[in-house]
Structures are given as C-alpha cells and as structure tokens.
Chains A and B, each alone.
Chain A
Amino acid sequence: MGKQMNNSCYLGIDVGSISTNCVVITPEGEVLCEIYKRGDGHPIESVQQCLAQLTAQLPDRFCIQGVCTTGSGRILAGAVVGADVIKNEISAHARATLHLYPEVQTILEIGGQDSKVTIVRDGAVVDFSMNLVCAAGTGSFLDSQARRLNITIEELSARAIMSENPTNIAGRCTVFAESDMIHKQQVGHEQKDITMGLCHALVRNYLSNVCNGKEIKPPIVFQGGVSANKGIHRAFKEALKCDIIIPPYNMVMGAYGAAIIASKSSIEKTRFRGKEASTKPIITQGFECGDCPNCCEIIEVLDAAEIIGRTGGRCGKWEGKTGPRESLRGTGPRCHVSGPSTGRETGHEMCRQVDDVPDLIQIGVPKK
C-alpha cells in the first residue's frame, strides 16, 4: 500500500488554442515532469506527442492514478486519453495559483487567444472576467506584431526590456495598432522602443478590456504563455505600480491546476488509457446522424477500428457512447426538427458541439 502511495501520481492536460501542456504531480502537489508544446491546430496529435514525451520522461515506477483535462479542447482530449475529470481552465488556473500562493488576490492570465483575470479573496475565487472577441489583450497580438517587425517573439521580449523611452502605440485592436506602429516606424522610432510600446499597448488593452471594473489588489500572480515575455512583465509592473509574481511552471499552470484537481477528486479507478493512448494512431471521423432532420454531425474518436468515444449531437444519445453505430441508431427522441447543422468557423473543433442549435423546431416549410 505504502509503496503504491509513494509511486502514485496525477496527470493534468491543458489543451489550449496555441499550446498543449502536460504536468504530472505527486499526491502532495510536487511536479514530477512538465511539458509545454506549441501545437499547430491538431489537438489530438499534440496530446499524443505530449503523452509520448511524458512516458519517456517519467520513471517507470510511477503510476498515474487520475487524469484531468482542461482548456478549450478539454472534451476531445478527455475522450482521447480517457480523462476522469474535465474542468474549465479558469478554475484550473485558479486552483494551481492558490496551491502555490494561498495569499494571492489577483491572477492575471494571458494566453494565445484568451486572456483572463481572476479575483481571489480569502482563498476563494469571487470574480473573473475573460476577454470577449478582441485579440488586442492576448498573445496573438504580440505574435502578429513581431511578425510584422520581422523578429521572433523571444527577440521582441529581449529588446523590449532594453527600452528606456517606450513609444506610445495606440490601438484598440490588432489592425489599428499595426497601422499606428507602421506610422511610428516611419517617423523613425527605435525598434526597442517600439517593441516596449507594443507591450504597453497589450497591457493597456488587457487592463481596460478584461480587467475593467475589477479590483486589482496585490499580491498579483501573472501566468499563461505570455508571462514568459519580460517586456509584458515590465509593462505590468509599470502599469500597476506593484510587484508582479511570476510563478514557477508559469507556462503550464493550467495543466498543473488540472493535475491538482485530479489528485483532489478521490478517483477510485482511473479511466486513463495509459501509454497506448499515445502510441496507437487515433483518428476522428464525422458522420451525419440522420435519425432526425437535425442531421447533427457526430465526431467519433477511433483507436484503430475501435470507437473510444463520441461527441456531438443535440439530443445527447451519442455523447460518450462507445458501442457500434447501428446499435445507437433510432434511440433517443424522434422529433420533426429541422435546421442546418453547420457550425461557424471558430477555430476550435469542439465549438460545434455547443454552437449548434439544439432541438430547433421549424414551423411551416413551404414548397418553392
């Protein structure tokens, strides 16, 4: 028993829009291994590559007792690896930060596509806010500007902190900022000043869009992919006029939080599919249900020929079911429902599932 306890560990996976991260912790919360991987729009492959790396790094004696997935691709990733818990990233991030800094009052988090602020009081999340549509307060803003300046994001970070006289760059959104930045370039501002100006612009946008009306109190922890950028760290310090803590594992806090959630959720027997989840080729295939005029698109997650999970559908009869397709056909409600099934282009595969209009009843369909 004791031996097993010593070797048990928990896995957290954060599938974000830009990166896929894994963290393995001991039941006490000590990090055994962490992986940060920039993805390229193939969440399943990224998760598998992460798992493969993880198996290589993690000594054999450790045995994963529970898995939690988080991030925007959490449901799909959960189906692929066999997650015990699926948790939203706001809670996961807060959990990780509270574990490391129980006294924290504000958590700033900037990722590739999302940015959030979480307000914590007395060790409990009391309020949070997330960016709406605008990418001006997210990492993609810096990415696109760095590309425009023809430097890498690391160079941007390094140059920004050398600036003594940052340029003031206006910009509500990427497009406005870009035109103003070009203007400033042409007027003859130095590149290091422009890069720092960009950092200030991002922080200003973040503070006025995401943190609007929120009470930002120290201690403040800054995490997420963008927290590696020293220019942004400096800009935050100057804007908020106080010290900003950057935690260890700042890039993988979501996964760390997920791992903690897994370790705390008293899992008796994990549904984790183990190493095989990383080695076997996993494919997804979509098909139209066709049981009713809704014509939902169902995504099947296949491991070789075996179906390990399904997502999609409005009536819920496919959700998580693994049996052969025919056995599930015809179950569930048959209503005379109709409506197109195309989800909008959202960038996330899983968006379709909630974006669709469930049970839409169409009245009176005339012939042309």
Chain B
Amino acid sequence: MTYMAIPNIGNYTIALATAVESLGIKAWASTATTPAALKLGIDAAPESVCLPLKAHLGHFIEADRAGVEYAFMVNSVGTCRLRYYRHMIGQILKDLGLKIKIFGLGFDGFKPPIVRHFDPGPITFIKPLFHTVQKIKAIDELEVAAWRTRAIEITHGDTTQAMNKLLVELSESRTMAQTRAIRKKAAACFAAIPVDKEKKPLKVGLVGEISFLRDKCLNKNIEYILGSQGIELRNFFLLGEELQNITRIVFLNQSRRKSLSKLADRYLQNSVGGHALDSVAYSIRCADEGYDGMIHLCPSGCMPEVSIRPILKRVSKDKDIPILEISYDEHTCGVGIATRLEAFADVLMERRKKNNSPAQRGKRAGHG
C-alpha cells in the first residue's frame, strides 16, 4: 500500500484522510502534531520561522521515518508565510536527505501534478470526495455539540470521551451510509451525557491562527482546559464553513469574507492575510452577541495576527469585551497557558457578577 502523509488540521484530518483515498492511496496522519514530531521540526527548521511550519515539518520527518513515501502540503494564496511552507518544507526535507516526495495543489497544465502522478480513475476519484465533505460536516457537528456540552457536563471528561469514540468511528467509517449513521447517532450520544441544565456557562470566542485553533498539541489543549472550567466555546474555524465559503467564491462570486469585511469595516479595511480579518470581525460579532470574552491565539511573531493586535485592543476597549491574547512559541508550557486561562475565567466571572448587579444593569440600559 502506498501512503501519503497529510498535514494535520485537528479532527478534520480524519476527513482529509478520506479525500486522499480518492487517489487510490492511504493517508498517514494524526489529529494533532505529536510532541515528538514538533521536537523534530524545531530541530530541523531555521530558528525564526513560525511554529506551524515547524510542526508540519516535524510531522513529515516523522512520516519519512515511518516509511511514508509521499507527502501533501496545502498551498495558500496570500501574503503570509504559509504561502511558502510547501517550498520551504520541501527544501529542508531535501537538505536532510529524506526521500519523501512532497506535493502541492498547484495546477500544471490541466491536471494538478498530484492527480497526474497517481492517476486514479474518474469513478474512484469522485466518491471519496463526497464522502470527505460529509465527514467534514459530521466533524463540524461534533465540534459544535462538544463545546456546549463540555461546559455544562457534570463529570469532567464525559464529553471528550464521547467525542473521541465518535471520532474513532468516523475515522473507521468507509462508506457514506456509515458516516450518515454516525451523524445520526452523535446527537443521541451527546444528549446521553449528564449535564447541569441550570448552569449558565461563560461564553468565550476563540479566534486566531488556524493551526492553533485546531491543533491540540500546539494550543496546549485549550478547548479542553476551557471546557473543564465550565466555559462554553465558539471556535471560529470550522472547515465546513470554510468550504462553503470557497464554494461561494468559485460558483457564486460572493464570499463570507465580504460580510466579514462589512462587519469589521470600522476597524479594519483590508483582509490583511491569514485569518486576521476573521479575528477582528468575529471579535466584533461576539461583542455584539454578548459573549463574555475572546481569546486570540497565534504563534509568536505571526505576521498577520500580530499586526492586528492594536486593532483588537481598540475593539476590546470600544466594545467592552476582554480579549486575552496568547502567543505560543516552542517553549510555551502547558501550565503557563492553563494558569492564564484560569485567571482569565476568574476575570470574566467577576465581570459578569458586576455587570449583573442592579446598578450596573441600569447603567448599561442607559447606554443602550
């Protein structure tokens, strides 16, 4: 069997793995960068490049060691460093003398080189792609359900366990019918978790650089830490939504980005690059929707995300919503992140108490 290493984008890797099957080969990946892979990447990459690159690089080195022959890296268009990831990773892998061959999505003539190389038949090609879309939708649903349930579950860990079970089933699902069954089952699984319905959890939005929103190893399992403190999350990177967005751009020539630009217009009039516009726009949206706080994640020195920080600070002041900025680098320690998150939760709780006091409420009503 031929294997291809694919970059990990959190749980969506499960869906991407199905897409790889459309080429008639199998995927090699994990739903998070392993700490060992990260270490490999840190050792091999130049010191000052950004952390996601190191994570991807380490992942591919690990793949090569496991005997994987091919690798795939997404291409990005735009101004940020992500655009050069494939080129740079390819170069470093070559310099290290590794045999793994790296593909991108770029077109060369009519067919992308990756399709030309494996040359799958048209029928085998289409079906897994539809299956992939279905799996992405399923994972979107799981994620959304988990954020809510994790914040109000009575025994910590229940949601994560249920989620894991479903994800494993999903990764083993071979047919569309199986996936559909899992999607149906998922709702029941989450409903079966004993929850405290009376609890009004703090609501926090998570924005920032996508690998940090998705990769548990890189973000030090932030979704779990927040959830176990009784915070309801909204992670603003759902691949299903992104896909819809891309479809709209291609077929309808209208994008979600336009609505984001409109939302952020007062603060930011350019899409910057990466997901910087999303960070600003969603922070504004969350503030308007009454979220308790925002968390902005990015790797240390991230070009687009760091450059919008002054704008986020302004949004935070104008809209009166606390924004916790966390930047990660290779030395970031989980305990440090946990401490910050706990303290942030304390701040939000105090704010909520204060804002709910009668005097404050009157004041707010007056403003409104």
Interface residues of A, Cβ cutoff 8 Å to B: 72, 87-91, 114, 122, 124-128, 130, 132-133, 213, 315-317, 319, 332-333, 335-340, 342-344, 346-348, 350-351, 353-368
Find chain B residues with CB under 8 A from A132 CB: 300, 327, 329, 332
**Which residue from A114, A354, A360, A363 sits with its C-beta under 8 Å from B334?**
A354
Interface residues of B, Cβ cutoff 8 Å to A: 1, 3, 11, 13-14, 17, 26-36, 39, 66-68, 156-157, 160-161, 163-165, 167-168, 171, 216-217, 220-221, 224-225, 300, 313, 322, 327, 329, 331-340, 342-344, 346-347, 350-351, 354
Given A126-B322, A127-B322, A354-B220, decide whether A360 and B335 contact each other with a Cβ distance below 8 A. Answer: no
Report the minimal beta-carbon distance from B242 to chain A, rounded to whole angstroms: 21
* Alpha-carbon distance between A24 and B196 when the two chains are bound, in angstroms: 36
Are B225 and A339 closer than 8 Å at their CB atoms? no
Are B30 and A335 closer than 8 Å at their CB atoms? no
Report the minimal beta-carbon distance from A119 to chain B, rounded to whole angstroms: 10
Report the minimal beta-carbon distance from A328 to chain B, rounded to whole angstroms: 14
**Which residue from B30, B163, B339 sits with its C-beta under 8 Å from A89?**
B339
Are A346 and B335 closer than 8 Å at their CB atoms? yes
- List of 10 A-B pairs having minimum Cβ-Cβ separation, nearest first: A354-B334, A316-B157, A90-B343, A88-B342, A355-B334, A340-B36, A133-B331, A368-B67, A357-B217, A362-B30
Find chain B residues with CB under 8 A from A361 CB: 11, 13-14, 30-31, 164, 167-168, 171
Are B171 and A363 closer than 8 Å at their CB atoms? yes
Are B339 and A357 closer than 8 Å at their CB atoms? no
Identify the interface centre among A124, A126, A336, A354: most chain B CB within 10 Å of its CB: A354
Using CB atoms, name the residue of chain A closest to B6.
Answer: A363
Find chain A residues with CB under 8 A from B26 CB: 364, 366
Are B66 and A365 closer than 8 Å at their CB atoms? yes
Are A358 and B160 closer than 8 Å at their CB atoms? yes
Report the minimal beta-carbon distance from B86 to chain A, rounded to whole angstroms: 21
* Alpha-carbon distance between A132 and B326 when the two chains are bound, in angstroms: 9
Using CB atoms, name the residue of chain B closest to A354.
Answer: B334
* Alpha-carbon distance between A343 and B221 when the two chains are bound, in angstroms: 14
Using CB atoms, name the residue of chain B closest to A87.
Answer: B342
Are A91 and B343 closer than 8 Å at their CB atoms? yes
Find chain B residues with CB under 8 A from A356 CB: 35
Using CB atoms, name the residue of chain A closest to B309.
Answer: A213
Using CB atoms, name the residue of chain B closest to A92.
Answer: B343
Are B322 and A350 closer than 8 Å at their CB atoms? no
Given A335-B168, A361-B168, decide whether A315 and B34 contact each other with a Cβ distance below 8 A. Answer: no
Find chain A residues with CB under 8 A from B36 CB: 340, 342
Report the minimal beta-carbon distance from B14 to chain A, rounded to whole angstroms: 7
**Which residue from B34, B66, B171, B327 sits with its C-beta under 8 Å from A339?**
B34
Report the minimal beta-carbon distance from B225 to chain A, rounded to whole angstroms: 7
